[in-house]
Amino acid sequence: MEKLKLSDYFSEIYELNEYPRFKVFIDGKWVKTKDTFDLISSIDESKIAEVGAVSKEDLDLAVNSADANKHKIRDMSAIDRLELINQVRKEIENHREEIVNVLMRESGKAYDSANGEINATIERLRLSMEDSRKIMGEYIPGDWSSDTTRKMALVIREPLGVVLGISPFNYPVYTSMAKILPALLSGNSVIIKPPSSDPLALLMCAEIFRKIGLPAGTLQVITGSGSVAGDYLIENNRINMISFTGSTTVGKHISEVAGLKKIHLELGGKGTAIILEDADLDLAAKECVKGSFELAGQRCDAISRVLVPEQIADKFYKKIEEHLNDYKFGNPLDGNKINMGPVINKKAAERIDLMVKDAVKKGAKCAAGGKFNNSYYEPTLLEDVPLTAEIANEETFGPVITVIKVKDVDEAIKIANESKYGLDSAVFTNDFYNGWRIMKALQVGNVTLNGAPSHGTAYFPFGGVKDSGAGKEGVGYSIEEMTNIKTIIFNLGAKNLGKQYSGQFKD
């Protein structure tokens, strides 16, 4: 792979030595850390950069700056915040191809996936006007209740203070920006920790914020080990909220150590697709392939298992096999025809392989794929997977279609609801009323009829139940998570104003 070198626009964020050495963004400045870690691309296992590894001293500087400067963003007029975000959107558009190129190299994403993520980021920024509506308050006249006559109240939303965002490797730019945007828009300062696997494209976006004129200290971007930064920040009493997207194990740990901070958790999932006998099988197969293979299956909203009635299983298998080649697998730098690249690293591929081998050992048929080389795991189809297999119950996070036969719809609902996860599901049927019954019965935060789950730009709210998390994310809904409600009550009776309760009609 060619040596990574950015345009002059981004020259402040790194030093070009044998490998580019990236800095961290603290107190409105790019800071060179004492230590670094190597960034390895899953495309060819090569080192592409050295990235700043923050120390506790660096973290103290970041927290001090975020806390000391939070008033700058809070005191900024809302329209100025909105227009600043709009300028950031335009500048990301101007540098789209360069950001996409870096994202591909560090994450192993195919061009369509990387470009799609940046497109979604741009669209999320454009929708900031929709976010702003959730900041507006409410007037409550008191004379609708006998104990509050001659009073009125204003219910307003206020920023929390300092928001800590922790983002995953599968959407390092979009998920980070989906935390930064509503936090800043609602008047909070932000500390964001992008994933160590692929932080560079997000660092480029931080430079855009700096150049556009975001007040210094209202955004900090730190990189490094979660073991160093994690608990140290989570327990810090000057951080007022934590927004975390990642594994259920880490999410539970955060909830245990965070104390009384406000927490939003978007965790793991076991997205289940239920196929009914009257479904359009070609549509269902196409969507299940898409839901399982997009981004090599490394999505919390991926279709992680498919439940199909025994009576139509063979027909469904044939339809799935017809669509297996919808995704061209290989090195994402080989050209735009490749739309599925490697998983994030070899360790992830080895974990997926253990799950596939376990399923086969317990009776599943591997009808396609089932092999890997370094970080490249082949698109895989497992048929007749028993419920005793690990892959039938645990999140796959890899390009595997796991098909499980069921006797009927009621058994499918039972299997789906026995999962410890409850993020996304899908139902395929041409009977609206039966589909409605099943969607109502499923214990999940999101369910899609006749389509693969997809959070997209979060125009529709999403968030899980059970071990899939707590709280809602999305346009407008993230604002609610990142603000406090304050009720301001006016005693109008003090000046003989307001309507008085007569009690003449009381029972």
Co-location of 216 and 334 in the same domain: no
Co-location of 210 and 331 in the same domain: no
Task: For residue 169, give the DSSP letter.
Answer: S
For residue 356, pLDDT over 90 is answered with yes
- Answer yes or no: is 117 within a domain: yes
For residue 160, pLDDT over 80 is answered with yes
Q: In the chain, how many domains are there? A: 2
Give the H/E segment covering residue 444: none
Co-location of 255 and 306 in the same domain: no
In the chain, pLDDT over 90 holds for what percent of residues?
93
Co-location of 277 and 238 in the same domain: no
Co-location of 116 and 198 in the same domain: yes
- Answer yes or no: is 454 within a domain: no
For residue 313, pLDDT over 80 is answered with yes
**Structure confidence at residue 226 as a pLDDT band (50, 70, 90):** confident
Tens of pLDDT along 269-306?
999 999 999 999 999 999 999 999 999 999 999 999 99
- Answer yes or no: is 79 within a domain: yes
**Structure confidence at residue 132 as a pLDDT band (50, 70, 90):** confident
Structure tokens at 258: 């965070």
CATH of the domain at 215: 3.40.605.10
For β-strands 469-470 and 262-266, DSSP reports them as antiparallel
Task: Give the position of tokens 């690990």.
Answer: 390
State yes or no: is 266 an active-site residue: yes
What per-residue confidence (pLDDT) applies to 492? 96
State yes or no: is 288 an active-site residue: no
Q: Output phi, psi for 214, to 5 deg.
A: -60, 130
Residues in the chain: 507
Structure tokens at 82: 């909105």
Co-location of 29 and 116 in the same domain: yes
What per-residue confidence (pLDDT) applies to 427? 98
- Answer yes or no: is 241 within a domain: yes
Co-location of 285 and 254 in the same domain: no
What per-residue confidence (pLDDT) applies to 407? 97
- Answer yes or no: is 2 within a domain: no
Instruction: Tell me the average pLDDT of the chain.
Output: 96
**Structure confidence at residue 131 as a pLDDT band (50, 70, 90):** confident
Structure tokens at 478: 């993230």
Mean pLDDT of 56-83: 97
For residue 133, pLDDT over 90 is answered with no
Mean pLDDT of 362-372: 97
For residue 337, pLDDT over 90 is answered with no
Task: Answer for the pair 80, 232: CB distance below 8 angstroms, yes or no.
Answer: no
Cα separations in angstroms, 234 against 132, 250, 469, 499: 27, 12, 17, 48
**Structure confidence at residue 489 as a pLDDT band (50, 70, 90):** very high
CATH of the domain at 352: 3.40.309.10
Co-location of 290 and 215 in the same domain: no
Given 266, 294, 383, 481, the catalytic residue: 266
For residue 1, pLDDT over 80 is answered with no
What per-residue confidence (pLDDT) applies to 203? 98
Task: For residue 345, give the DSSP letter.
Answer: -
For residue 321, pLDDT over 90 is answered with yes
The CA distance from 350 to 298, in Å, is 14
Q: Name the residue range of residue 343's domain.
A: 271-449
Mean pLDDT of 210-238: 93
Sheet holding 151-159, edge to edge: 138-141, 151-159, 483-491
| Predicted TM-score of the model (pTM) | 0.95
Task: Answer for the pair 243, 482: CB distance below 8 angstroms, yes or no.
Answer: yes
- Answer yes or no: is 500 within a domain: no
For residue 336, pLDDT over 80 is answered with no
- Answer yes or no: is 338 within a domain: yes
For residue 335, pLDDT over 80 is answered with no
The CA distance from 64 to 69, in Å, is 8
Co-location of 242 and 295 in the same domain: no
Given 50, 300, 383, 473, the catalytic residue: 300
For residue 349, pLDDT over 80 is answered with yes
Tens of pLDDT along 5-42?
999 999 999 999 999 999 999 999 999 999 999 999 99
What per-residue confidence (pLDDT) applies to 228? 84
Cα separations in angstroms, 219 against 72, 213, 258: 11, 11, 21
Co-location of 321 and 261 in the same domain: no
In the chain, pLDDT over 70 holds for what percent of residues?
100
> Which amino acid type is present at position 152?
M
Structure tokens at 364: 């599943």
For β-strands 35-40 and 47-53, DSSP reports them as antiparallel
Co-location of 336 and 223 in the same domain: no
Mean pLDDT of 164-173: 97
The CA distance from 333 to 246, in Å, is 27
For residue 134, pLDDT over 90 is answered with no
The CA distance from 201 to 120, in Å, is 14
For residue 130, pLDDT over 90 is answered with no
What per-residue confidence (pLDDT) applies to 57? 96
Tens of pLDDT along 440-464?
999 999 999 999 999 999 999 999 9
**Structure confidence at residue 3 as a pLDDT band (50, 70, 90):** confident
- Answer yes or no: is 301 within a domain: yes
Co-location of 284 and 378 in the same domain: yes
What per-residue confidence (pLDDT) applies to 12? 97
